[in-house]
Structure 1
Amino acid sequence: TDENNPTSFANIHCIPSTAPSPTTAVPYLATKCVDSVHHNEKSTKWFTPWGPNQCHKIRDFEEATVKKIEANNIVFAVHIPGPKIEMSPWFQFMLVVLQFEIAFKMYNQIDDGAVVTIDVGLAYRDDTFSDWTELAHSVEQRKLSCNFTAVKTFENEGRYYDCNLLPFMELGSVAHKYYLINIRLPVSERKKTNVGIGEIKDIRLVSIHQNGGFTKVWFAMKTFLTPSIFIIMVWYWRRITMMTRPPVLLEKVIFALGISMTFINIPVEWFSIGFNWTWMLLFGDIRQGIFYAMLLSFWIIFCGEHLMDHTERNNFSVYWKQVGPIAFGSFCLFIFDMCERGVQLKNPFFSIWASDVGTELAMAFIVVAGICACLYFLFLCFMVFQVFRNISGKRSSLPAMTKARRLHYEGLIFRFKFLMLVTLACAAVTVIFFIISQVNEGHWHWGEHTVQVNSAFFTGMYGMWNLYVFTLMFLYAPSHKRYGDEQCGGGQGSNSGEDLQLTTTVTHVDGLTEIYKMTGKEAQE
């Protein structure tokens, strides 16, 4: 960083920690290269800031003025990564943000609503001697958001504006070793292009990519957890098909949740190491969206099916008022993602944050999504409260049972309450994770505040989801064992024709339903 420049990236640095961040941010200062081709002609040359074929450089724009070099002949070049370093497919993606360093001049101030037109090209190569191959080229516009904290006087000329980070580029894969960015700021008085943007001194970029070490840990987790969930899912469904009755709604939803968990677990990311699959970010968002929708819907149905006072159960249509908004919200998430990452498959320089309308829409989306997530959690807490109140009101039937039966059902109720509390805790952590991930991802677009998220948080969340789904299928799988009064000394008063299955589930044998329907007289009988 430049110690004399107040807008340098002093806040971007590496801090050793036990659980490092999943991503790394690397700052770059663009080199000012001189293009000898006249600005009316098209230059096919790539300008490299260093190396054997490096460009002709100038130190600053004062030198360009002395040498009579026009602004249209200056190319800002950035080589990613730095010397003696290579990029790797293990980095998975590359997000680049931009910041202009603009000096204050009394007769060249930044106009209100100033927009910078950027003519940018991206090239790659996999060795240090071959020619650069163009990957993308575009002419983009970015609105400046700069503040001058000092008083605008002649004495303060030369001081820098405080400019926000601007979205610049996003690649869905890092398949090549070296990348080269060439940026031009074309000036045209007639077309009012790049007029009123102040005196730009330098351009700084920040490249954010996933850490290779975190990628390997992430892949290892997915590779290990995929067969675990798949095996328990097959075992769970086999137990259900062994029953003489058809599966109930809750069992179907648990199985669907297992399928969505398996879908997000499948480590297809391994192929991104050998193939240039730029759509992996979008595919990952779709997989996560499907799992979120299934998980949120499951929690609603899970609580609703255990409200035993409701006469209509075991019917998916009963929950359309709750599941419908979840499906609609998931569809809106998909459309929002396609509007940015879908377009970036063709143009990596496109950003929905580049325009005022897009920024307001994106900010509104993040705020609304966070509010909806909080409201959903409050509604889920209300449903869990109803279930607990329902159970407490029905436990009066337990004392009328035999001791063995009472202990059996009290064990079922205890395990069920514990599972409901675990569900509530899992929901709370999931909502917090969703909000933090949205804020953390948006930080590079709007700047200012960020939330530090380390690898332990991501892997912990992922492990929690898998453990939760595994536990659900294990506890709610139908049992083949039998539990009757004759096993617990029921004697002659016991009814061997009313044997109950010994199982941890409380739905498919209607264990709690039987408790709820019993009166003291019926229990004695």
Structure 2
Amino acid sequence: MAGGAVIENLSNRKLFVIIAGLLAVQILFFLVGVWYAPSPSSYMEFEMISCRDETKGLSGEWIHRDSCHQIEELSEFTPSSFDLREIVFIAKMPHARDGIELEYSPWFQFLLGVLQIEVEYSEHFKYVPHAQIELEVRMGYREHASKKNDWKELATSNVTRILECTIAEEDKKDGGTYNCDMLDLFELGSSSYPFYLVNIRIPIDQHACQYNPKNPNCQIGKLSGLRLIEIHQNGGFTLLWLWTKTLMTPIVGACLWWYYNRINQLARNPLLLERAILYLGLSLAILDFPIEWISLTHRLPFLLLVSDLRQGLFYTVLFSFWLIFAGEHLIDDTTRNNIKSYRFNLSFIIIASGALLIYDLIERGVQLYDPFYSVWSSPTGSQIAYVAIFISAICTVAYFGFLLFKIVRVWTTIKHKRSAQLYQTSENRRLKVEGVIYRFKFLMLFTVLCAGFTILAYFMKQYGEAQLHGDEARSGFLTGSTSAFFTGTFGMCNIYVLILLAMYAPSHKHYRGATQLIDENDDEIIDDPSNQHTESNAMTTFLKPSTD
């Protein structure tokens, strides 16, 4: 059984029905995002309460609302010591609303916290640009069965960040305020507990400041308060996203199994293009598998890391497939169907993926046991991050430039071959080959469209996550109404892979060989069940260079 691929033998009527059905499904993915899905993320804002702790943290007790000796006006408070360790900033998450105590749900998937430092202008305590600020942070959690103030420690750390602030000339007077950038504080890969408590101290070592003014907390100016902004994934979006993935997983799995059986029954070894489609389908099945359901009942702090690795795997296989898909229709018989001929092309993808993998493993990996860690918080970590992003960006640009070049060459080859050869043959044969060409053009256009939206979705997601860590955390891309874009792109990627699995599977019809469409002069395709193999499909045979 191998009379070419399904795309070559499927009737126009059946092909139209399939495409129309998939188009309706694609529209449905967008409409579900528009009608039913809330925005991907939401935020809560907390004005951190400043409390006085006479033990200066030596007791190890948690400072919470019921034990807080609140400092009404921080700028007027006179500490009893120079290190300011008796001042504690607290925030209980989530806060109460209308007298009702809210709680976090596992449906929120992740929790991210950014800190707004409020600095007043002062002639005595001057802020110096690029000042280092060091925070002693403790995060505790409480479960439903625990008593009201029975907090257990989740993580503790000394956090060092760079404080960047600006002030207008007219505000350079007592009472004027600086405009400071947001600081990354924490990121939790799962929302495992209903309540959290954050205690922050900003100690100052006066002796160290005398010897070296650039030491942490020596040049941060006059603090007037802290504001914590917590961001989480909306539970409604998580529910819709999980049900979408749950629905698609068995469909993709069934199509993948059907495709595997088709190529496994061939009398020859699978072609490189067939194997590439198989691996692409497998990576999509891994991406679609809704492992997030487990996080609703079990604590999975590594969920963000796993999600990033699955997405990275899919993108790596998808980008590799696009090169092979275009390249298999250009190279001659001496190099076709050989992965080694793509070593140079695939090196861009491998280097870019490897650089981003290193960055992700450092960032997400360390956050598994220290949620306050940020790769950007240290000079060495920042250099690693910049190098990784720079290398991946250069390789990505080179890759897409090369991919565009190959797609243009494929298009040009089709045009030249058709004008040079197609109309020199019989009418019946010309119509058959024209059908193959139009179907291939449809797949190529769909590939370009899918590539564009996939790349756009990837960069918009990265941009949205950067906004969550920056000054646009409250009104960023991911906290806006963008659910339809993500559900639509998710549906398009699935539909694209399903089309490839269906259209490039070996056909169940038995022909003398798909190459007959061009290489033979017969007007009819002759059935011959005894011939069970073909070396290439009609499109690749048509596009291969002439050996005459």
Partner residue in 1 for 2:8: none
TM-superposed CA distance for 1:235, in Å, is 0.6
Structure 1 position 262 matched with structure 2 position 280: no
1:387 and 2:404 matched: no
1:455 Cα deviation from its structure 2 partner: 1.2
> In the superposition, relative to structure 1, how do residues 500 and 373 fare at CA in structure 2: closer, same or farther (>3 Å)?
farther
Task: Indicate if the aligned counterparts of 2:74 and 2:225 stay in contact, CA closer than 8 A.
Answer: no
Question: For 1:363 and 1:451, how far apart are their aligned partners in 2?
Answer: 23
Answer yes or no: is the 8 Å Cα contact 1:101–1:200 preserved in 2.
yes
CA contact (8 A) 1:397 1:518 kept: no
Secondary structure (helix, strand or coil) at the match of 1:65 reads coil
Name the aligned partner's letter for residue 477 of structure 1: A
Q: Which residue pairs with 1:488 in the alignment?
A: none
Match of 2:47 in 1: 29
Paired with 1:413 and 1:496, the residues of 2 have a C-alpha distance of 18
Q: Tell me which residue corresponds to 1:241.
A: 264
Q: 1:423 to 1:495 in 2, by over 3 A?
A: closer
Superposed CA offset, 1:112-139 (max 9, x none): 4321111110000013525100000111
Task: Please state how far the C-alpha of 1:93 moved relative to its aligned partner.
Answer: 0.5
CA distance in 2, matches of 1:21, 1:381: 34
Aligned pairs for 1:148-227 (under 5 A) are 148-151=167-170, 153=172, 156-192=173-209, 193-227=216-250
Choose the corresponding residue for 2:427, options 390, 393, 403: 403
Corresponding residue to 2:84 among 71, 80, 85: 71
Aligned AA for 2:138? G
1:208 CA drift (Å): 0.7
Q: Is the 8 A contact 1:366 1:438 kept in 2?
A: no
Contact kept? 2:190, 2:299, Cα under 8 Å: yes
Residue of 367, 376, 380 corresponding to 1:353: 376
Q: Give the C-alpha shift of residue 45 in structure 1.
A: 1.0
- Alignment of 1:146 with 2:165, yes or no, is yes
1:56 Cα deviation after fit: 2.0
Partner of 1:86: 103
| 2:64 equivalent to 1:48 | yes
Aligned-partner Cα distance in 2 for 1:91–1:239: 41
Aligned to 2:148: 129
Question: Which of these residues, 479, 484, 497, is aligned with residue 469 of structure 1?
Answer: 497
Choose 442-451 or 259-268, whichever is displaced more: 442-451
Deviation at 1:425, TM superposition (A): 1.2
For 1:431, the equivalent position in structure 2 comes to 455
2:500 partner amino acid: L
Cα deviation per residue 1:439-479 (whole Å; 9 max; x = unaligned)? Answer: 22122334369852411121111111111100000000111
Q: Which moves more between the two structures, 124-133 or 173-182?
A: 124-133
CA RMSD of aligned residues (A): 2.8
Structure 1 Cα separation of the partners of residues 188 and 545 of structure 2: 63
- Offset at residue 230 of structure 1 (A): 0.6
Counterpart of 1:196, as a letter, is: Q
Name the residue aligned to 2:135: 118
1:478–1:508 contact (8 Å) kept in structure 2: no
The CA deviation at 1:346 is 1.1
**Structure-2 residue corresponding to 1:504:** none
1:397–1:516 Cα contact (<8 Å) kept: no
Q: CA contact under 8 A between 1:377 and 1:427: conserved in structure 2? A: no
Greater RCO (Cα-Cα under 8 Å, separation 6 or more): 2
- The alpha carbon displacement at 1:482 in A equals 3.5
Q: State whether residues 104 and 161 of structure 1, in contact with CA within 8 Å, keep that contact through their aligned partners in structure 2.
A: yes
| Structure 1 residue 142, shift from structure 2 partner | 1.3
Matches within 5 A, 1:430-509: 430-447=454-471, 452-453=477-478, 454-482=482-510, 494=522, 509=536
* In structure 2, distance between residues paired with 1:517 and 1:439: 42
Tell whether the 8 Å contact from 1:436 to 1:451 is kept in structure 2 after alignment: no
Query: CA–CA distance in 2 between the matches of 1:183 and 1:66?
Result: 16
TM-score by length of 1: 0.86
* Corresponding position of 1:12: none
2:305 to 261, 276, 282: 282
Secondary structure at the aligned position of 2:500 is classed as helix
* Secondary structure of the corresponding residue to residue 86 of structure 1: coil
Please list the CA deviations of residues 168-226 of structure 1 after superposition, one character each: whole Å capped at 9, or x if unmatched.
10001111000000001112211335222111010001101000000001100110000
SS at match of 1:314: coil
Would you say how many aligned residue pairs link Structure 1 and Structure 2? Answer: 486
CA distance in 2, matches of 1:194, 1:518: 69
CA 1:101–1:329 in 2, change beyond 3 Å: closer, same or farther? same
Aligned to 2:27: none
- Post-superposition shift, 1:61? 2.0
Please say if residues 77 and 181 of structure 1, whose CA atoms lie closer than 8 Å, have aligned partners that are also in contact: yes
| Cα 1:305/1:58, change in 2 over 3 Å | same
Partner of 1:7: none
Give the 3-state SS of the residue equivalent to 1:190 in structure 2: helix
Change in Cα spacing, 1:518 to 1:189, as seen in structure 2 (3 Å) is: closer
Distance 1:418 1:57, change over 3 A: same
Q: Distance in 2 between matches of 1:225 and 1:301?
A: 26
Q: Which runs of 5+ in 2 are unaligned?
A: 1-33, 210-215, 514-520
2:320 is aligned, of 280, 291, 297, to: 297
User: What CA distance in whole angstroms lies between the structure 2 residues aligned with 1:27 and 1:500?
Assistant: 72
- Give distance in 1, aligned partners of 2:304 and 2:536: 43
Between the aligned partners of 1:134 and 1:173, the Cα distance in structure 2 is 16
Q: d(CA) in 1 for partners of 2:267 and 2:333?
A: 25
Listed one character per residue, the Cα deviations across residues 410-438 of structure 1 (whole Å, up to 9, x for unaligned) are: 11110001100110111111222222222
In terms of mean alpha carbon deviation, does 309-318 or 355-364 score higher? 355-364
Q: CA deviation at 1:372?
A: 4.1
Q: How far apart, CA to CA, are the structure 1 residues paired with 2:133 and 2:539? A: 67
Deviation at 1:65, TM superposition (A): 2.0
Q: Which runs of 5+ in 1 are unaligned?
A: 1-16, 486-492, 502-506
Q: Which amino acid aligns with 1:36?
A: E
The amino acid that maps onto 2:89 is F
Letter in 2 for 1:34: R
Whole-Å Cα distance in 2 between the matches of residues 253 and 237 of structure 1? 12
- Separation in structure 1 between the aligned mates of residue 346 and residue 453 of structure 2, nearest angstrom: 21
**Residue 262 of structure 1: CA displacement?**
0.4
Which letter does structure 2 place at the counterpart of 1:141? T
Q: Is the 8 A contact 1:377 1:428 kept in 2?
A: no
Q: Is the 8 A contact 1:167 1:353 kept in 2?
A: no
1:346 maps to amino acid: Y
Residues 131 and 220 of structure 2 are in contact (CA less than 8 Å); yes or no, is this contact kept in structure 1?
yes
Q: Equivalent residue of 1:379, what SS? A: helix
Q: Distance in 2 between matches of 1:81 and 1:500?
A: 71
**1:319 aligned residue:** 342
Q: Distance in 1 between matches of 2:368 and 2:454?
A: 29
> Does the CA contact (< 8 Å) of 1:22 and 1:455 recur in 2?
yes
